[in-house]
Amino acid sequence: MLYRAEISITKTSKGREWSMLTRRQFLIGMGAVTASTIFSLSLNSKVASPKDSMPADMNEKPEVFIPDCDWVIENTFIVDGSGQPAIYGKIAVKGENIAAIGDFQNPSGIKVIDGRGLVASPGFIDIHTHTEDYVYSGESMAPFLTQGVTTQVGGNCGRSPRDIAGYFSTVPSLAINYGLLLGYRTLREMAGVNNNKRASIAELTKMQKHLAKALESGALGLSTGLEYAPQHLATTEELTTLCHIVKQYGGFYATHIRSEYNGVIPALEEAIAIGQTTGVSVQYSHIKAGHEENWIKFPELLNMMESASSSGVDITADVYPYTFSSTDIGTKPLQHSISEENLNRAITHPLVFIGSDTGIYSGGRVNHPRAYGTYPRVLGRMVREKGLLTLEEAIAKMTSQPAKRLKLKNRGLLQTGCKADIVLLDPKTIIDKAMLEKPAVFSEGIRQVWVNGALSWDAGVQEDNMGQVV
Q: What CATH number is given to the structural domain containing 453?
A: 2.30.40.10
Q: Report how far residue 252's alpha carbon sits from residue 272's, in angstroms, rounded to the nearest whole number.
A: 13
Note whether 48 and 169 are same-domain residues.
no
Closest Cα partner for 414 from 157, 55, 100, 15?
100
Confidence (pLDDT) at 61? 63
Q: Are 315 and 351 in contact (CB under 8 A)?
A: yes
Say what the pLDDT of residue 15 is: 55
**d(Cα 118, Cα 446) in Å, to the nearest integer?**
10
Count: domains in the chain? 2
* 230 lies in the same domain as 149: yes
Q: Contact 438/367 with Cβ under 8 angstroms?
A: no
DSSP, res 407: T
Kindly give, in sequence order, each residue whose CB lies less than 8 Å from that of residue 130, ignoring residues fewer than 6 positions away: 154, 156, 157, 159, 357, 358, 359, 360
Residue 14 three-state SS: coil
Q: How many helices (H) and strands (E) does the chain have?
A: 13, 23
Q: Could you give the residue ranges of the DSSP H alpha helices within 75-160?
A: 132-136, 142-145
H-helix segments, 230-263: 236-248
Cα–Cα distance, 21 to 185 (Å, whole number): 53
Non-local (6+) Cβ contacts of 169 within 8 A are: none
Distance CA 12, CA 385 (A): 9
- Other residues' Cβ atoms within 10 Å of the Cβ of residue 441: 17
Domain containing 170 — which CATH number? Answer: 3.20.20.140
- 194 and 214 Cβ atoms separated by less than 8 Å: no
pLDDT digits (tens, 9 = 90+) for 264-300: 999 999 999 999 999 999 999 999 999 999 999 999 9
Q: Is the pTM of this model over 0.85?
A: yes
For residues 237 and 335, state if they share a domain: yes
Please tell me whether residues 257 and 147 are part of one structural domain: yes
Do 85 and 182 lie in one domain? The reply is no
In a shared domain, residues 456 and 400: no
Taking CA atoms, 415 is separated from 6, 76, 383, 429, in Å, by: 19, 15, 24, 26
- Say if residues 187 and 193 touch (Cβ distance below 8 Å): no
For helices 236-248 and 201-216, give the axis angle rounded to 10 degrees. 30
Separation between Cα atoms, residue 217 and residue 408, nearest integer Å? 17
Burial letters 2-16, b for 16+ CB under 10 A, else e: bbbbbbebeeeeebb
Amino acid 459: pLDDT: 83
Buried b (16+ CB within 10 A) or exposed e, 278-292: bebbbbbbbbbbbbe
Q: Which helix (H) or strand (E) holds 72?
A: strand 71-78
Count of Cβ atoms closer than 10 Å to residue 360 Cβ: 23
- Answer whether 283's CB lies under 8 Å from 224's CB: no
Q: What local confidence, expressed as pLDDT, does residue 58 receive?
A: 53
pLDDT of residue 298: 99
User: Which of 374, 347, 346, 342 is closest to 358 using CA atoms?
Assistant: 374
Q: How far apart are CA 232 and CA 226, in angstroms?
A: 5
49 CA to centre of own chain: 32
- Nearest-angstrom CA–CA distance, 220 and 187: 14
Taking only Cα atoms into account, the Rg of the chain, rounded to an integer number of angstroms, comes to 23
Residue 309 and residue 172 share a domain: yes
Decide: residue 157, CB within 10 A, 0-12 exposed, 13-18 middle, 19+ buried: buried
Domain check: are 405 and 380 in the same one?
no
Cβ proximity of 207 and 191 under 8 Å: yes
Cβ neighbours of 49 (radius 10 Å) = 14
Report residue 126 CA to chain centroid gap: 4
Q: Are 398 and 382 in contact (CB under 8 A)?
A: no
Q: Are residue 107 and residue 232 in the same domain, yes or no?
A: no
First to last CA, the chain: 34
The residue ranges of the chain whose pLDDT is under 70 are: 1-62
CA–CA distance from 431 to each of 122, 200, 382, 383, 434 (Å)? Answer: 18, 50, 10, 11, 9
Same domain, 376 and 445: yes
Which residue range(s) make up the domain with 216? 132-353+392-410
336 and 197 within one domain: yes
- DSSP secondary structure letter of residue 382: I
Whether 22 and 103 have beta carbons less than 8 Å apart is answered as no
Both 371 and 222 in one domain: the answer is no
